Amino acid sequence: MASLYEKLGGKPAIETAVDKFYVKVLADDTVNHFFTETDMDKQREHQTKFLSYALGGPNQYSGTSMEKAHEGMNIKPEHFNAIAGHLNETLEELEVSEEDRDQVMEKIGALAPHIMHK
C-alpha cells in the first residue's frame, strides 16, 4: 500500500503544498507573528522534510523535537487550529481526497500536545 507521501505525489507535491500553506499562514494575523524573525526559506525546507517524514516518506528530518522547536512560543489551541486549518485548506486546494486529508490531519492533531503551551 502506498504511503500518504507517495499518494500525494512525493517531494514535489509536498514542496508545493508547503509553499501554498505558508502563503496562507503569513497572511493570517492570528499566527503570522510567530514567523516575523524566521528565515522562511529555511522554514519551508524544514517543513517539507518534516511533512515528508510524517506522511511516510524518507526520513530526512533531523530537526529539533516538537517540544524544543516550539519552546517559549506559548502556542494556544486557536493558533494550532489556525495552522491546521490552513494545512487542510491547502490540501483541499491541491485536490487531496477527503480520506487522505483526514489521515494527514489525524497525524498533525497527534502533535498538538507536543506543540501547545510550550
C-alpha cell recorded at residue 43: 522554514
What is the Rg, in whole angstroms, of the alpha carbon atoms belonging to the chain?
A: 14
- Tell whether 79 is in a known binding site: no
- Tell whether 70 is in a known binding site: yes
Contact 71, 63 (CB under 8 A): no
Q: Beta-carbon neighbour count of residue 82 at 10 Å?
A: 19
Residue among 74, 61, 104, 99 at smallest CA distance from 86: 104
Q: What is the DSSP string of 12-34?
A: HHHHHHHHHHHHHHHT-TTTGGG
Binding residues: 46, 70
Binding residues for heme: 46, 70
